[in-house]
Amino acid sequence: MIKVEDITWVRYRAPDLKLMAEFLADFGLQPVASTEDKLFMRAYGRMPVAHITERGPAGQIGFGLKARSRADLEKIALELGAPVERRTEPGGGDVVTVTDPDGTRIEIVHGLEYPGPLESRAAFAFNPKNARVRYNGTVRVKSAPSFVQRLGHVALFTGRFAAMKSFYTDVLGMRVSDEYYVGPSTNVMATFLHCGLDDEFVDHHTVALIGNGRTGFEHCAFEVTDLDDVMSGNAFLVSRNRWTHSWGIGRHVEGSQIFDYWRDPFGNKIEHWTDGDLVNDHYQVGRKEFSPEKSLSQWGPSVTQDFLDP
């Protein structure tokens, strides 16, 4: 087993890179580089690239995970019989490319070069009752795309739930945060996995698995600056009058994020979120019965058919 400590980028395929770039710019990502066949977009945070699209029939290819150390990278190469290769894409570094049991491409990387964060806006200070912090100050929100800070997680459909869970936990060292079952409590159909780094606090889930018989991405999710950034980013995307909203704004149960889901021009679900839970390996694992009404959100509009559709 190795340890991975973060998710790096998602990699899709699409027939029209210009259209993808236009959507992602409105979503709040920034261009890094583009060639005839590849589009590289980044967030405002330190990761050199967060979203990669390759020209081709619309689809999903996979995602990257950051190995905790060089030794972890070499270990996974040995365990899975894949070479350590030099990356030639933005960020450089070394990569071991493997596939999970569903055939999703996983790029395990180490030694990325970080270009430094882009200039963003600071999170607004909130003035909740009994915890005032903003005095002689104001909040002024500009109409603009969200200031997307980083890729946070992917959720994957799977028809091989046990094999997929075993791959992400036994091979990549992830740990269960929460799970859902349907029918008997042994019939677990969804699991939320965090990077297992012992005492270190990480996102509640970096990978979520949903065992509904399909394969592929259910969605990918990007962390924005704060609550205003979710709301104003939504207003900006609505104002463009050319993109498809999927579901939101609401607050999730598992992970607690305030969320807003959109569809990219090729039908992929993509999420803005803020205010997620941080957990470590001492988190009390939850196991509950799944309910579409209660398990997906604590407040917000009822779940939409678009969100439930793959």
CA distance 166 to 88: 31
271 touches Fe ion (CB under 5 A) = yes
CA distance 261 to 269: 7
Q: Which is nearer to Fe ion, 87 or 204 (CB)?
A: 204
Q: What is the smallest separation between the CB atom of 260 and Fe ion, expressed in angstroms? A: 10
- Written as six digits, the tokens of 149 are 């800070």
Q: What is the smallest separation between the CB atom of 270 and Fe ion, expressed in angstroms? A: 10
Q: What is the smallest separation between the CB atom of 258 and Fe ion, expressed in angstroms? A: 11
CA distance 73 to 104: 18
Q: Which is nearer to Fe ion, 24 or 208 (CB)?
A: 208
Q: Which is nearer to Fe ion, 10 or 67 (CB)?
A: 10
> Binding segment for Fe ion among 90-98, 169-177, 219-227, 236-244 (CB under 5 A)?
219-227
CA distance 267 to 140: 33
The residue number whose beta carbon is nearest to Fe ion equals 221
From the list 244, 295, 290, the residue with the least C-alpha distance to 270 is: 244
> Binding segment for Fe ion among 24-32, 34-42, 236-244, 268-276 (CB under 5 A)?
268-276
176 touches Fe ion (CB under 5 A) = no
> Binding segment for Fe ion among 52-60, 103-111, 171-179, 214-222 (CB under 5 A)?
214-222
> Binding segment for Fe ion among 19-27, 81-89, 213-221, 238-246 (CB under 5 A)?
213-221
DSSP 158-194: -S-HHHHHHIIIIIT-EEEEEEEESSSTT-EEEEEEE
7 touches Fe ion (CB under 5 A) = no
From the list 55, 41, 29, 62, the residue with the least C-alpha distance to 262 is: 29
H-type alpha helices, the chain: 17-27, 70-80, 161-166, 227-240, 305-308
47 touches Fe ion (CB under 5 A) = no
From the list 75, 58, 57, the residue with the least C-alpha distance to 67 is: 75
Q: What is the smallest separation between the CB atom of 153 and Fe ion, expressed in angstroms? A: 6
CA distances from 270 to 23, 24, 114, 203, 251 (A): 11, 10, 24, 18, 16
Q: Which is nearer to Fe ion, 32 or 168 (CB)?
A: 168
Q: Which is nearer to Fe ion, 78 or 278 (CB)?
A: 278
Q: What is the smallest separation between the CB atom of 65 and Fe ion, expressed in angstroms? A: 17
Q: What is the smallest separation between the CB atom of 227 and Fe ion, expressed in angstroms? A: 16
221 touches Fe ion (CB under 5 A) = yes
DSSP helix/strand/coil, 46? coil
Residues touching Fe ion, count (CB under 5 A):
2
Q: State CA 259 to chain mean position distance.
A: 12
Q: What is the smallest separation between the CB atom of 81 and Fe ion, expressed in angstroms? A: 32
Residues of this chain that bind Fe ion (CB under 5 A)? 221, 271
